[in-house]
Amino acid sequence: MSDPTAEPGAPVVASSNIPAASEKSVAAEAKKHVPNEAVALAATPDRILLRLNKLLAAPGGLSATLSTFNYTLYLIAYLEAKSAPLKIKLYQLLNQTPAVPALDTPSHFAALGVLLGSARTTLRLFGLLPLYAWLRSLMAGPKPSDDGVLYTTQLTQCLLYICFQLFENVGVLTDAKVLPTSWTNRWTAAYGGKTSNIFLWSYRAWLGGVLCDFVRLFRTAQLERQKRAQRNVTTDFATREHDEAVDQAWWKELVVPMSWTPMALHFALGEGGLPGWNLGMMGACGAFAGMGKISEMWAKTA
């Protein structure tokens, strides 16, 4: 919002002996006596909150922030649980006692993580709308300049994500008693009325969608190599700088499916999942997957 303009016709003080309001203000007097470093430090929380507001208001900012924060909490909760023996040893050493202190269980970090996970699942109930819009744009067919492999990969990924979101929505709404159990009984009867089979196929569709990212990225790399091979050898600085930026962006994108794949595979395998899987591994995968996007979006809020 722009600053308010002066009111037309406002009286002007002719005498210069009367000090201006800014000279008499408390803020102006404080600036004379407070170091600039302290002023900047006091303004830091305000800048952070305003940048955080921009981040959450940006397209995809809320979901990306919640996802990264959610999985980071899982990782912290796992590390906190693993540090329990160390906490006991330190307590006994500092207090010179063999008594075992009472530790907070369950972890508050884990509880907040579960709460955020439930909130993200609820928000994803509306996830079919953007996926439908994406499908509509793809159904128009590839453009003349589009690569056939990339177009087919995008269409396949879109359909898989629609299946993932649809099955997840059905499972969530069934568990919440929003959908009648008679609608899903044919898929839940063999599992004692539980929706585990519905979620299992949702996770498998998610895994398929994540794997499509590998196909897209490696096809993109192949096309980029072909383009550079056809280009005349040049030492132009701008060209080399552009190529380096493209390569860096490609590697950053590759981190995302590499981070999601172990988690998606664990859930897609069903009961048991990957051997040795734990909350810390899940937290690390989710945090690494979202860290790059959050960093870029945070930089844009400056």
Q: Is residue 97 domain-shared with residue 136, that is, in the same domain?
A: no
Residue 1 in domain = no
Q: Is residue 227 domain-shared with residue 187, that is, in the same domain?
A: yes
Report pLDDT for 36. 59
Give dist(CA 86, CA 66) in Å, integer. 30
Q: Is residue 113 domain-shared with residue 183, that is, in the same domain?
A: no
Q: For residues 298 and 90, which has the higher predicted lDDT (pLDDT)?
A: 298
Residue 264 in domain = no
Mean pLDDT throughout 207-234?
A: 89
Task: Give 58: exposed, middle or buried? Use CB within 10 Å, 0-12, 13-18, 19+.
Answer: middle
Place of tokens 């600036």: 31
Give dist(CA 227, CA 204) in Å, integer. 35
Q: Is residue 70 domain-shared with residue 103, that is, in the same domain?
A: yes
Give yes or no for residue 10 having a pLDDT over 60: no
Percent residues over pLDDT 90 in the chain: 48
Give yes or no for residue 50 having a pLDDT over 70: yes
Q: For residues 153 and 236, which has the higher predicted lDDT (pLDDT)?
A: 153
Cβ 132 vs Cβ 89: under 8 Å: no
Q: Please, which pLDDT band fits residue 17 given cuts at 50, 70 and 90?
A: very low
Place of tokens 């006991």: 88
Report pLDDT for 108. 85
Q: Which residues contact 61 (CB under 8 A, 6 or more apart)?
A: 54, 55, 297
Cβ 150 vs Cβ 219: under 8 Å: yes
Q: Is residue 143 domain-shared with residue 213, that is, in the same domain?
A: yes
Q: Is residue 285 domain-shared with residue 232, that is, in the same domain?
A: no
| Sign of the CA dihedral with 13 first, then 14, 15, and 21 last | positive
Report pLDDT for 172. 94
Give yes or no for residue 12 having a pLDDT over 50: no
Most confident of 21-30, 225-234, 289-298: 289-298
Q: Is residue 37 domain-shared with residue 112, that is, in the same domain?
A: yes
Report pLDDT for 260. 96
Q: Is residue 118 domain-shared with residue 136, that is, in the same domain?
A: no
Which of these three, 244, 266, 289, is where a domain ends?
A: 244
Report pLDDT for 47. 85
Residue 37 in domain = yes
Residue 266 in domain = no
Mean pLDDT throughout 216-235?
A: 84
Report pLDDT for 91. 60
Mean pLDDT throughout 204-227?
A: 95
Give dist(CA 244, CA 251) in Å, integer. 11
Give yes or no for residue 148 having a pLDDT over 70: yes
- Give the mean pLDDT of the chain: 83
Give yes or no for residue 20 having a pLDDT over 50: no
Long-range contacts of 259-267 (CB under 8 A, 24+ apart): 259/285, 259/286, 259/288, 259/289, 260/210, 260/285, 260/286, 260/289, 261/207, 261/210, 261/211, 264/203, 264/206, 264/207, 264/210, 265/207, 267/199, 267/200, 267/203, 267/206, 267/207
Residue 225 in domain = yes
Question: pLDDT tens for residues 162-186?
Answer: 999 999 999 999 999 999 888 888 8
Question: pLDDT tens for residues 51-102?
Answer: 888 988 988 889 999 999 999 999 999 988 887 777 666 666 776 777 666 6
Q: Is residue 110 domain-shared with residue 136, that is, in the same domain?
A: no
Report pLDDT for 38. 56
Residue 270 in domain = no
Residue 152 in domain = yes
Mean pLDDT throughout 132-151?
A: 92
Give yes or no for residue 22 having a pLDDT over 80: no
Q: Is residue 118 domain-shared with residue 134, that is, in the same domain?
A: no
Residue 5 in domain = no
Give dist(CA 197, CA 177) in Å, integer. 17
Cβ 217 vs Cβ 254: under 8 Å: yes
Q: Is residue 138 domain-shared with residue 92, that is, in the same domain?
A: no
Domain extent, residue 106, equals: 30-122+279-302
Question: pLDDT tens for residues 254-267?
Answer: 999 999 999 999 99
Give dist(CA 234, CA 231) in Å, integer. 8
Q: Is residue 107 domain-shared with residue 144, that is, in the same domain?
A: no
DSSP alpha helix (H) spans, 140-231? 148-175, 181-188, 196-230
Rounded to whole angstroms, what are the CA distances from 37 to 45, 51, 88, 253?
A: 14, 20, 41, 39
How many structural domains comprise the chain? 2
Give yes or no for residue 13 having a pLDDT over 50: no
